[in-house]
Amino acid sequence: MSLRRRNFASTAAIYAMLSPTFGLLAVFSLVPFVWAFVTSFYDYEVGGESRFVGIDNYVEYLHDPTLLPSFANLLFLTVFGLLIVSTVPLAVAKLIFCLKSERARYLYRVLFLIPIVVPGVAGMMIWQGMIYNDTGLLNETLRLFGREDLTRGWLSDPRTVLWAVVFMGFPFAGGINILIYYAGLAGISESIHEAAELDGARGMTKFLKVDVPLVMSQVKLLTILTVIGTVQGFEGMFILTKGGPGFKTMVPGLWMYMNAFSFQRMGYACAIGVILFLLILSLTVLNMRYFRSSEELKAEGA
């Protein structure tokens, strides 16, 4: 009896220790999660009455004028982001990895990490005010070379605005992605490289045939993160363009935000949020299922 009571007491203690975690998750994660779905079936304005409208919000979104341009932009941003994240940081990581001096390798990794200290909002406004501005770096450089004719408002010209948005952060080498790839490269054992060299693999061939397949688990991680981040992300558009000119840089997330906080249409905004959630969920599942990481390939080969 005493033993059982002690077990009971320790079980109670265990649940008590877990209670902050589950309390916080229930109040600040679970409630908003459930509420998102519920609200999406209502016509709801803050301060006004809420009215059950069934799937009307979803049906309306199918006919929304921003639907096509915003998903086309999203596709463009995702493809561009995936191309960048799977090439530039990997190449830079490999270049650093090829250096002979241990100290130089460390120094470059630290230096490429420096941009993370700049707050994201500041980084975007620096590109807006310093590079794309009328008297910014881009236009002034063109003037320096006597090409006044090419200068423009990069963020207001409908022909350049989307490119201006994706090129923010050029040459895309700063931040932790290099470190993630570097860790992957460092995890490849020396014997694999020696074996490849015995088979006559050199330089680029060796990189593509040996290194790239073996950092696939890092590529997979960054691919998932990029897709999730791009589908959700609209801070850049919010700060730089507000989706304009026209709907040239509109993305679904920004339209959701504007419906909620500019037009006070909370139910409609939640419906857009639910659609984005389902999109992210299915893309993540697809990625997990069909994109084999190196460990999974190894396990299958064995």
Partner 1 sequence: MRRHWDQVVLHAVLILILSLTLAPFVFVIDNSMRTNSEMNHSFFGLPKLGHQLFAGYAYAWEVLRPYTLNTIFVCVVTGIGVVLVGSVSAYVFSRCRFAGRNTLFLAVLAFMMIPGVLTLVPSFLWVKKLGLLNSHWVLILPYLAGGQVFAIFLFKSFFDGLPGELFESARMDGAGHLTLYWNVVLPLSKSVIAVVAIVNILGTWNNFLWPFITNSDSKYHVISSGLYLMNRSNVSSNFATMFAAYVLASIPLLILFLYATKPFMQGVTSGAFKA
Residue numbers 218-237 binding partner 1 by CB under 8 A: 218, 220-221, 224, 228, 231-232, 235
What is the footprint of partner 1 within residues 244-263 (CB under 8 A)? 253, 256-257, 260-261
Residue 53-82 contact track with partner 1, rule CB under 8 A, x = bound: ------------------------------
Closest by alpha carbon to 97, among 6, 159, 206, 184?
184
The pair phi, psi for residue 51, each rounded to 5°, is -130, 130
Least distance from C-beta 205 to partner 1, angstroms?
Answer: 16
Least distance from C-beta 95 to partner 1, angstroms?
Answer: 6
Number of residues that bind partner 1 (CB under 8 A): 95
| Both structure tokens of 126 | 């620096």
CA distance 132 to 136: 6
Nearer to partner 1, 16 or 198 (CB): 16
Least distance from C-beta 163 to partner 1, angstroms?
Answer: 17
Q: Who's near 15: CB < 8 A, 6+ residues apart? A: none
Least distance from C-beta 180 to partner 1, angstroms?
Answer: 5
| Contact flag: residue 269 with partner 1 (CB under 8 A) | yes
CA distance 168 to 128: 9
Nearer to partner 1, 1 or 122 (CB): 122
Measured CA to CA in angstroms, residue 167 lies from 22, 48, 87, 163, 183 at distances of 41, 42, 15, 6, 26
What is the footprint of partner 1 within residues 7-46 (CB under 8 A)? 10-11, 13-15, 17-18, 20-22, 24-25, 27-29, 31-33, 35-36, 39, 46
| Contact flag: residue 110 with partner 1 (CB under 8 A) | yes
Q: Who's near 278: CB < 8 A, 6+ residues apart? A: none
| Contact flag: residue 166 with partner 1 (CB under 8 A) | no
Nearer to partner 1, 77 or 96 (CB): 96
The pair phi, psi for residue 140, each rounded to 5°, is -65, -35
| Both structure tokens of 218 | 């890092």
Identified binder of partner 1 from the candidate list 61, 182, 247, 255, rule CB under 8 A: 182
Nearer to partner 1, 161 or 254 (CB): 254
| Contact flag: residue 130 with partner 1 (CB under 8 A) | yes
- Is there a contact between 247 and 241 (Cβ–Cβ < 8 Å)? no
Give burial (CB, 10 Å; 0-12/13-18/19+) of 113.
middle
